[in-house]
A and B are shown apart, each in its own frame.
Chain A
């Protein structure tokens, strides 16, 4: 915003102080995220910048907290790092296990939320859809209703949603459920919970993309002889794909960052990164958490870049210039 030429001295002062205020707010937004990066390289078990770090002395910095991520839960952390040592990391290290769990839960929750959400968004954006407003309100509500309420409800319901593990149904579905045959303490339970939390994001992004979608393209495809399947995969899908992908990324991040539902419905086998961090912050706060945090910041920068690039591509495809 340029200062108009007729601005009075007072307005000039105000204009520059306004810019300073904006700068401070940006600092407030971004500094807490960036500060974890130097702190994670701390050589001391402290949560603050040591004098050595301030003096940029290399001795003040180390990778020991990143190393902790590999050795925590490792039976022989100090032995020579040959291939068997690394395979033990892959099998046993606490943080690596948590990362694997987070990844798989996030992946399946994302697939579930994205497939169901995209199909539903196609229906919701048709003008003939009955009870559109009501259903839309229901689909968005997992984002609005406090997560603690959802988690409490799920912990009651999932503990009773059981099938006898010895019955015919139990032998088929048993692998997805806990040992007692319940949704509680099972991977499937966590995946379902995370999928329902990711659905609002998929619905919002895909319906937003569809709002700029020219419905006559569908009629054109039909008139040229395409069946509904061909129309969907050749005409609709390529155009809404950026929206679907950014919805999927939102859903993945929601699952990857979710801790409350996990605390209430998951068992010890479903240890995820956020749960491990949550417990770590509550109990003994060690800079190892900052090392994890730094890795997560890098991941979020990558995801944000992807989403921004997708959005620009989508705008270009739809002929929208600018934001």
Chain B
């Protein structure tokens, strides 16, 4: 026993080396973590907490639950009621709450909440609340006489659902579901706008990514193969847009592409198009795609360049000397080696394009709007919960892409210029 102990390696002050090392490593870990801690707290406070608030809001709306306490109470006690034929007590509770809403001026809040899942109910609530204190029992007949829509099963389902403060309903609405008399169902073909806009955003982002790749590939190749002095000079041309204000670039695209703009003037000037046949390239999808491609192009060139820079030119020469044509050399030897750069650039451009807001808002016109603009639209209309739910769906999509980027490329490889 005593012999074994003396065989253990110890530090100068007699502690076992293993324990001393573990303590030292723990101390080093703690020190490293303490350096990161202030920033971590700051990012949690100004980034994670706000996003948490947004996600909470996407499940939360107390507009109806607060303004109709009697009905909320009744729903809580009668869980299995038939929405197609609610009993007289339910109508009595509803009329009582409508009268209260009229006094407390909360009709708008309650109506807005129901309006999310059953569109067109704000005016119904306003009308009902105005008449509520004149109504006499039996309340069912009286209220149906004011407006027969009060008997809609969808409305009763909606009110039952809205009596809970927390609900996944806004995600259903954002996924183009709506509440019908039979329960939640797909919206009509013409009204499925949210998922349509999601799909459109992804398609437009894919188009922009492909355009960026096509434009960036030759340029990145040129920069990577030119001698240093020339390539640093040309690199300035890539980096300058990167450093120039986004609003400046968007403004100049308006000046270039609008109907009285420079490109149209030029085309008319050289006689390609007539003065009355000016192309409309601004305030539509074309404007969005052109301006966004320009804005995101440096994000494609830089990762491609850093990969192409380290491809040894001797491989291509070897392929040529073995009899490959220049096309085969490119396709079989050069292109596969650039794939990491293509993946990095494409994913980055795609991620940035999916969430883009400013450029579509300024140059997109009516049909060039993307999903971010819809979020902003609902925020401006005070449809906060719906805006938050759409933002929540967008966030999930972005996080999946970010995870993919980290797996394929690695975030440590992100470089600026």
Contact = CB atoms under 8 A, between A and B. Distances in A.
Interface stretch (A57-65, A80-88, A130-138): A130-138
B241 A30 contact: yes
A32 B222 contact: no
A202 B301 CA distance: 21
Interface string B126-158: 000000000000000000000000000000000
B76 interface: no
Contacts of A19: 222
Contacts of B59: none
A212 B370 CA distance: 41
A144 interface: yes
A278 B357 contact: no
Nearest to A146: B355
B215 A156 contact: no
Give chain A's interface residue range (CB within 8 Å of chain B).
Answer: 35 or more
Contacts of B248: 33, 36, 293, 296-297
B255 A35 contact: yes
Interface stretch (B66-74, B83-91, B106-114, B256-264): B256-264
Interface string B330-362: 000000000000000000000100111110011
B179 to A, nearest CB: 25
A278 B32 contact: no
A124 B48 CA distance: 19
Contacts, number: 274
Interface stretch (B38-46, B116-124, B166-174): B38-46
A11 B355 contact: no
Contacts of B357: 146-148, 260
Interface stretch (A69-77, A218-226, A300-308): A300-308
Interface stretch (B13-21, B97-105, B408-416): B408-416
A281 interface: yes
A149 B54 contact: yes
Give the 5 A-B residue pairs with the shortest CB-CB distance, closest first. A146-B355, A123-B35, A153-B50, A120-B39, A153-B54
24 contacts: A11-B326, A28-B215, A33-B252, A116-B42, A117-B39, A120-B39, A129-B33, A141-B47, A144-B405, A148-B355, A149-B51, A149-B375, A149-B398, A153-B50, A158-B50, A205-B416, A281-B247, A281-B250, A282-B362, A289-B251, A304-B243, A308-B232, A311-B417, A323-B228
Interface of B: 25, 28-29, 31-36, 38-40, 42-43, 46-54, 57, 215-216, 218-219, 221-222, 225-226, 228, 231-232, 234, 236-241, 243-256, 258, 260-262, 265, 294, 297-298, 309, 320, 326, 351, 354-358, 361-362, 372, 375-376, 379, 384, 387-388, 391, 394-395, 398, 402, 405-406, 411-412, 414-417
